[in-house]
Structure 1
Amino acid sequence: MSCISQKDNQTSTIYEVIFNAQSRGALENISLTNNTITYKNYNTTKTYKISKNNLEQLFNLIQKLDLKTISEIQAPSNKRATDAALHASLTIKTSNESFTSNVFDDDNPPSELKDIIDLLKTFSQE
Protein backbone atom coordinates (compact mmCIF):
# COMPACT_ATOMS: atom_id res chain seq x y z
CA MET A 1 0.00 0.00 0.00
CA SER A 2 2.60 2.55 1.01
CA CYS A 3 6.20 2.84 2.02
CA ILE A 4 6.98 4.20 5.44
CA SER A 5 10.33 4.90 6.98
CA GLN A 6 10.82 3.38 10.42
CA LYS A 7 12.95 4.85 13.19
CA ASP A 8 15.84 2.55 12.32
CA ASN A 9 15.76 3.86 8.72
CA GLN A 10 14.37 0.65 7.27
CA THR A 11 11.66 1.02 4.67
CA SER A 12 8.72 -1.37 4.62
CA THR A 13 5.50 -1.57 2.71
CA ILE A 14 2.35 -1.76 4.79
CA TYR A 15 0.06 -4.44 3.42
CA GLU A 16 -2.64 -4.60 6.06
CA VAL A 17 -3.82 -2.85 9.21
CA ILE A 18 -6.20 -4.80 11.45
CA PHE A 19 -8.15 -3.73 14.51
CA ASN A 20 -9.80 -6.67 16.22
CA ALA A 21 -12.06 -6.48 19.28
CA GLN A 22 -14.07 -9.34 20.72
CA SER A 23 -15.60 -10.93 23.77
CA ARG A 24 -17.90 -13.88 24.31
CA GLY A 25 -20.87 -12.04 22.82
CA ALA A 26 -19.44 -9.34 20.58
CA LEU A 27 -17.07 -8.93 17.66
CA GLU A 28 -15.70 -5.94 15.79
CA ASN A 29 -13.06 -6.41 13.11
CA ILE A 30 -11.77 -3.61 10.89
CA SER A 31 -9.25 -4.55 8.23
CA LEU A 32 -7.55 -2.19 5.78
CA THR A 33 -5.99 -3.73 2.70
CA ASN A 34 -4.93 -1.53 -0.21
CA ASN A 35 -7.58 1.19 -0.25
CA THR A 36 -10.38 -1.02 1.06
CA ILE A 37 -11.75 -1.16 4.59
CA THR A 38 -13.68 -4.25 5.61
CA TYR A 39 -15.85 -3.97 8.72
CA LYS A 40 -17.22 -7.14 10.33
CA ASN A 41 -19.33 -7.91 13.35
CA TYR A 42 -21.51 -10.93 14.12
CA ASN A 43 -24.37 -9.52 12.03
CA THR A 44 -22.80 -7.76 9.05
CA THR A 45 -19.84 -7.40 6.78
CA LYS A 46 -19.37 -4.12 4.94
CA THR A 47 -16.66 -2.98 2.55
CA TYR A 48 -15.71 0.62 1.84
CA LYS A 49 -13.18 2.29 -0.43
CA ILE A 50 -11.13 5.04 1.16
CA SER A 51 -9.43 7.97 -0.50
CA LYS A 52 -5.74 8.42 -1.06
CA ASN A 53 -5.81 11.36 1.38
CA ASN A 54 -7.33 9.16 4.09
CA LEU A 55 -4.69 6.50 3.47
CA GLU A 56 -1.94 9.09 3.77
CA GLN A 57 -3.44 10.38 6.99
CA LEU A 58 -3.43 6.86 8.45
CA PHE A 59 0.11 6.12 7.28
CA ASN A 60 1.36 9.37 8.76
CA LEU A 61 0.01 8.25 12.14
CA ILE A 62 1.55 4.80 11.77
CA GLN A 63 4.88 6.34 10.80
CA LYS A 64 5.06 7.98 14.23
CA LEU A 65 5.12 4.51 15.85
CA ASP A 66 8.13 2.32 16.37
CA LEU A 67 6.49 -0.86 15.09
CA LYS A 68 9.13 -3.07 16.70
CA THR A 69 7.98 -1.93 20.17
CA ILE A 70 4.21 -1.92 19.57
CA SER A 71 3.92 -5.21 21.51
CA GLU A 72 5.45 -3.53 24.56
CA ILE A 73 2.83 -0.79 24.86
CA GLN A 74 0.82 -1.33 28.03
CA ALA A 75 -2.95 -1.06 28.26
CA PRO A 76 -4.16 1.86 30.40
CA SER A 77 -7.07 -0.14 31.88
CA ASN A 78 -8.16 -3.72 32.41
CA LYS A 79 -11.98 -3.73 32.19
CA ARG A 80 -11.79 -6.61 29.71
CA ALA A 81 -10.84 -8.94 32.58
CA THR A 82 -14.39 -8.65 33.93
CA ASP A 83 -16.14 -8.54 30.53
CA ALA A 84 -16.76 -4.81 30.93
CA ALA A 85 -14.94 -4.15 27.64
CA LEU A 86 -14.00 -6.07 24.51
CA HIS A 87 -10.49 -7.53 24.22
CA ALA A 88 -8.84 -5.52 21.45
CA SER A 89 -5.57 -5.48 19.52
CA LEU A 90 -4.01 -3.71 16.58
CA THR A 91 -1.92 -5.55 13.96
CA ILE A 92 0.15 -3.91 11.26
CA LYS A 93 1.49 -6.19 8.55
CA THR A 94 4.40 -5.04 6.41
CA SER A 95 6.31 -6.64 3.58
CA ASN A 96 8.77 -8.03 6.12
CA GLU A 97 6.91 -8.68 9.36
CA SER A 98 3.70 -8.56 11.32
CA PHE A 99 3.49 -6.34 14.42
CA THR A 100 0.73 -6.88 16.99
CA SER A 101 -0.02 -4.84 20.07
CA ASN A 102 -0.73 -6.18 23.54
CA VAL A 103 -4.41 -6.71 24.27
CA PHE A 104 -6.25 -3.64 25.57
CA ASP A 105 -9.81 -2.51 26.33
CA ASP A 106 -11.49 -1.54 23.06
CA ASP A 107 -13.00 1.60 24.58
CA ASN A 108 -9.70 2.72 26.13
CA PRO A 109 -6.75 2.00 23.80
CA PRO A 110 -3.21 3.03 24.70
CA SER A 111 -2.58 6.68 23.81
CA GLU A 112 0.07 5.66 21.26
CA LEU A 113 -2.58 3.71 19.29
CA LYS A 114 -5.72 5.74 19.95
CA ASP A 115 -5.54 8.06 16.92
CA ILE A 116 -4.92 5.14 14.54
CA ILE A 117 -7.83 3.13 15.94
CA ASP A 118 -10.17 6.13 15.96
CA LEU A 119 -9.31 6.83 12.34
CA LEU A 120 -9.91 3.20 11.32
CA LYS A 121 -13.30 3.30 13.05
CA THR A 122 -14.15 6.54 11.23
CA PHE A 123 -13.25 4.96 7.88
CA SER A 124 -15.44 1.93 8.60
CA GLN A 125 -18.50 4.14 9.20
CA GLU A 126 -18.33 6.13 5.96
Structure 2
Amino acid sequence: MRYIIIITSMILFIISSCKTNITSNEKTILKIEKVSLSERTRGTIRDITLSNGKLIYSINGNINSQEIPQNDWSKIVEYVEEINTEGISKLEAPTTKRFSDAALASHITITKNGSDYQSSTFDSGNPPLELKKLYDEIQRIIQTKKSR
Protein backbone atom coordinates (compact mmCIF):
# COMPACT_ATOMS: atom_id res chain seq x y z
CA MET A 1 0.00 0.00 0.00
CA ARG A 2 2.82 2.37 0.88
CA TYR A 3 4.44 1.74 -2.49
CA ILE A 4 1.25 2.65 -4.32
CA ILE A 5 1.08 6.00 -2.51
CA ILE A 6 4.75 6.74 -3.28
CA ILE A 7 4.41 5.78 -6.95
CA THR A 8 1.19 7.79 -7.32
CA SER A 9 2.87 10.81 -5.71
CA MET A 10 5.84 10.55 -8.07
CA ILE A 11 3.58 10.31 -11.13
CA LEU A 12 1.56 13.35 -10.05
CA PHE A 13 4.78 15.31 -9.45
CA ILE A 14 6.10 14.46 -12.92
CA ILE A 15 2.82 15.39 -14.59
CA SER A 16 2.62 18.73 -12.78
CA SER A 17 6.21 19.64 -13.69
CA CYS A 18 5.52 18.85 -17.37
CA LYS A 19 2.50 21.17 -17.33
CA THR A 20 4.64 23.91 -15.77
CA ASN A 21 7.18 23.66 -18.60
CA ILE A 22 4.47 23.88 -21.24
CA THR A 23 2.96 26.93 -19.54
CA SER A 24 6.34 28.69 -19.29
CA ASN A 25 6.97 28.09 -23.02
CA GLU A 26 3.59 29.61 -23.86
CA LYS A 27 4.40 32.66 -21.72
CA THR A 28 7.69 33.16 -23.61
CA ILE A 29 5.78 33.44 -26.88
CA LEU A 30 3.59 36.18 -25.41
CA LYS A 31 6.54 38.16 -24.03
CA ILE A 32 7.61 39.63 -27.37
CA GLU A 33 6.35 43.14 -26.78
CA LYS A 34 7.46 45.00 -29.89
CA VAL A 35 9.79 45.02 -32.84
CA SER A 36 11.26 48.25 -34.20
CA LEU A 37 13.08 49.03 -37.43
CA SER A 38 15.06 52.25 -37.60
CA GLU A 39 16.53 53.53 -40.88
CA ARG A 40 18.58 56.71 -41.09
CA THR A 41 20.74 58.76 -43.41
CA ARG A 42 21.60 62.46 -43.56
CA GLY A 43 18.21 63.54 -44.92
CA THR A 44 15.84 60.80 -43.82
CA ILE A 45 14.78 59.22 -40.56
CA ARG A 46 12.30 56.31 -40.68
CA ASP A 47 11.17 54.58 -37.52
CA ILE A 48 8.74 51.67 -37.67
CA THR A 49 7.39 49.99 -34.54
CA LEU A 50 5.19 46.91 -34.58
CA SER A 51 3.41 45.57 -31.53
CA ASN A 52 0.44 43.32 -31.03
CA GLY A 53 -2.22 44.83 -33.28
CA LYS A 54 -0.48 48.14 -33.97
CA LEU A 55 1.93 49.73 -36.45
CA ILE A 56 3.52 53.11 -35.74
CA TYR A 57 5.33 54.54 -38.75
CA SER A 58 7.34 57.77 -38.58
CA ILE A 59 9.11 59.52 -41.47
CA ASN A 60 11.12 62.59 -40.49
CA GLY A 61 8.90 63.15 -37.45
CA ASN A 62 5.53 62.69 -39.20
CA ILE A 63 3.89 59.90 -37.22
CA ASN A 64 1.15 57.59 -38.50
CA SER A 65 -0.51 54.82 -36.54
CA GLN A 66 -2.54 51.95 -37.94
CA GLU A 67 -3.97 48.65 -36.81
CA ILE A 68 -2.45 45.45 -38.14
CA PRO A 69 -4.15 42.06 -38.37
CA GLN A 70 -3.33 39.45 -35.73
CA ASN A 71 -1.89 37.10 -38.36
CA ASP A 72 0.70 39.76 -39.34
CA TRP A 73 1.78 40.08 -35.71
CA SER A 74 1.87 36.30 -35.36
CA LYS A 75 4.21 36.08 -38.35
CA ILE A 76 6.51 38.70 -36.77
CA VAL A 77 6.54 36.72 -33.50
CA GLU A 78 7.31 33.52 -35.42
CA TYR A 79 10.33 35.11 -37.12
CA VAL A 80 11.59 36.70 -33.88
CA GLU A 81 11.49 33.31 -32.17
CA GLU A 82 13.84 31.95 -34.86
CA ILE A 83 16.44 34.59 -33.99
CA ASN A 84 19.01 34.33 -31.22
CA THR A 85 18.18 37.72 -29.69
CA GLU A 86 21.20 37.57 -27.38
CA GLY A 87 23.54 37.54 -30.39
CA ILE A 88 21.93 39.97 -32.83
CA SER A 89 24.27 42.79 -31.88
CA LYS A 90 27.19 40.71 -33.21
CA LEU A 91 25.70 39.90 -36.63
CA GLU A 92 27.76 41.13 -39.56
CA ALA A 93 26.16 43.18 -42.31
CA PRO A 94 26.71 41.78 -45.82
CA THR A 95 27.35 45.21 -47.40
CA THR A 96 28.71 48.63 -46.36
CA LYS A 97 26.90 51.18 -48.57
CA ARG A 98 25.65 52.99 -45.45
CA PHE A 99 29.19 54.24 -44.81
CA SER A 100 29.01 56.49 -47.89
CA ASP A 101 25.30 57.42 -47.63
CA ALA A 102 24.51 55.12 -50.56
CA ALA A 103 22.01 53.31 -48.31
CA LEU A 104 20.12 54.07 -45.13
CA ALA A 105 21.81 52.75 -41.98
CA SER A 106 19.33 50.37 -40.39
CA HIS A 107 18.95 48.32 -37.25
CA ILE A 108 16.24 46.21 -35.69
CA THR A 109 15.35 46.35 -31.99
CA ILE A 110 13.40 43.52 -30.40
CA THR A 111 11.75 44.13 -27.02
CA LYS A 112 11.31 40.76 -25.37
CA ASN A 113 10.64 39.97 -21.71
CA GLY A 114 11.21 43.62 -20.82
CA SER A 115 14.69 43.76 -22.43
CA ASP A 116 15.77 45.45 -25.66
CA TYR A 117 17.97 43.55 -28.12
CA GLN A 118 19.41 45.76 -30.87
CA SER A 119 20.99 44.37 -34.01
CA SER A 120 24.21 45.59 -35.51
CA THR A 121 23.78 48.29 -38.16
CA PHE A 122 23.19 47.14 -41.74
CA ASP A 123 22.27 48.64 -45.11
CA SER A 124 18.56 49.18 -45.69
CA GLY A 125 17.26 46.38 -47.88
CA ASN A 126 20.23 44.12 -47.13
CA PRO A 127 20.08 42.81 -43.54
CA PRO A 128 22.21 39.99 -42.13
CA LEU A 129 20.89 36.60 -43.24
CA GLU A 130 19.60 35.79 -39.73
CA LEU A 131 17.33 38.88 -39.82
CA LYS A 132 16.21 38.64 -43.45
CA LYS A 133 12.83 36.94 -42.88
CA LEU A 134 11.91 39.39 -40.11
CA TYR A 135 13.10 42.41 -42.12
CA ASP A 136 11.21 41.29 -45.25
CA GLU A 137 8.02 40.71 -43.23
CA ILE A 138 8.25 44.20 -41.69
CA GLN A 139 8.71 45.70 -45.16
CA ARG A 140 5.75 43.68 -46.49
CA ILE A 141 3.50 44.97 -43.70
CA ILE A 142 4.62 48.56 -44.30
CA GLN A 143 3.99 48.32 -48.07
CA THR A 144 0.56 46.78 -47.46
CA LYS A 145 -0.40 49.60 -45.10
CA LYS A 146 0.97 52.34 -47.41
CA SER A 147 -1.10 51.09 -50.32
CA ARG A 148 -4.38 51.34 -48.39
TM range (shorter): 0.7 to 0.9
Counterpart position of 1:93: 111
Instruction: Tell me the TM-score normalized by structure 1.
Output: 0.85
For structure 2, list consecutive stretches of 5 or more residues without a partner in the other structure: 1-23
Higher strand share goes to which structure?
A: 1
When the two chains are superposed, the root-mean-square deviation of aligned CA atoms in Å is 1.9
Letter in 2 for 1:108: N
* CA contact 1:38–1:124 (8 Å) conserved in 2: no
Counterpart position of 2:39: 21
Q: Deviations over 1:25-46 (max 9, x none)?
A: 1111110123101111126322
Match of 2:133 among 92, 101, 115: 115
Check if 1:49 corresponds to 2:63: no
Aligned residues: 119
Match of 1:83 among 71, 95, 101: 101
CA distance in 1, matches of 2:35, 2:61: 22
Check if 1:106 corresponds to 2:115: no
SS in 2 for 1:124: helix
Higher helix share goes to which structure?
A: 2
SS in 2 for 1:11: helix
> Highest Rg: 1 or 2?
2
SS in 1 for 2:93: coil
Letter in 1 for 2:92: Q
Q: 4+ runs of 1 displaced by more than 3 Å? A: none
* CA contact 2:52–2:70 (8 Å) conserved in 1: no
* CA contact 1:48–1:124 (8 Å) conserved in 2: no
Instruction: Tell me the TM-score normalized by structure 2.
Output: 0.73
